[in-house]
Amino acid sequence: HDPPKYWTIHGLWPDRAEDCNRTWHFNVTEIKDLMSDMRHYWPDVLHSSLNRTQFWKHEWEKHGTCAATLEVLNSQKKYFGKAIELYQHVDLNGCLLKAGIKPSSSYYKMTAIKEALTRFYGVTPKIQCLPPEEGEKAQTIGQIEFCFTKELQLVNCTVPEGGSNPVQAHLKLGTSELSVCNDTLPTYYPSEVQ
């Protein structure tokens, strides 16, 4: 219901690590003072459940416990708090607007979106799309991934040697698959995805 009309956080994911510490369970009370920011910037846009914390629990158990090997992310409060801080620092919503890229019923060129982001940030993010529906010609922008060093400085997102990481290259969004956008297809940036 009422999906947000702005970019939200999916997660903060360390490379080459998953399910690091199964015994370190999610405890929502540790992030209680982040709750209003969490609900705003990090909502579960796929499952509008009464228990909003399922998504955060999943992100913590799968990715946060791995990220916690870095001192700056070594607790739930630090992990979620730092992710929100990075999100606000990146300010994707503001950047796209400044570049004149906003939800529209007309199409964009993927290269134009990439160039605007690269110009603004000085690094290349990874842009993921839903492929065209049957009989359609345009892909739909679905997720924009920024990459950081262990010091949490922005860096280019590059495809690792030996092919892409299947976990990050293909992400299920509802029933559809997100994959790296095609530079040659017209690109739809809707205000909401049905």
Residue 59 annotated to the active site: yes
* Per-residue model confidence (pLDDT) at position 51: 65
- Catalytic hit among 59, 71, 170, 192: 59
* Per-residue model confidence (pLDDT) at position 32: 95
Burial class (CB in 10 A: 0-12, 13-18, 19+), 7: middle
* Per-residue model confidence (pLDDT) at position 20: 86
- Catalytic hit among 1, 63, 145, 192: 63
Task: Return the structure tokens found at 167.
Answer: 């976990």
Separation between Cα atoms, residue 67 and residue 42, nearest integer Å: 17
* Per-residue model confidence (pLDDT) at position 164: 47
Residue 134 annotated to the active site: no
Decide: 110 and 181 in contact? Cβ < 8 Å. yes
* Per-residue model confidence (pLDDT) at position 166: 45
Residue 47 annotated to the active site: no
Task: Give the domain ranges of the chain.
Answer: 28-90, 104-189
Terminal C-alpha separation, the chain:
11
List, for the chain, all residue ranges whose pLDDT scores fall below the cut of 70.
1, 16-19, 48-51, 159-176, 193-194
| Percentages of the chain per state (helix, strand, coil), in multiples of 5 | 35, 15, 50
Give the pLDDT confidence of 114-156 residue by residue, as tens digits: 999 999 999 999 999 999 989 999 999 999 999 999 999 999 9
Place of tokens 């910037």: 41
pTM of the model: 0.88
- Catalytic hit among 1, 10, 30, 85: 10
Place of tokens 């999100």: 87
* Per-residue model confidence (pLDDT) at position 114: 95
CATH class for the region spanning 104-189: alpha beta
The 3-class secondary structure across 60-114, one letter per residue, is HHHHHHHHCCCHHHCCHHHHHHHHHHHHHHHCHHHHHHHCCCCCCCCCEEHHHHH
Is the alpha carbon torsion for 139, 143, 148, 154 positive or negative? Answer: positive
* Per-residue model confidence (pLDDT) at position 169: 47
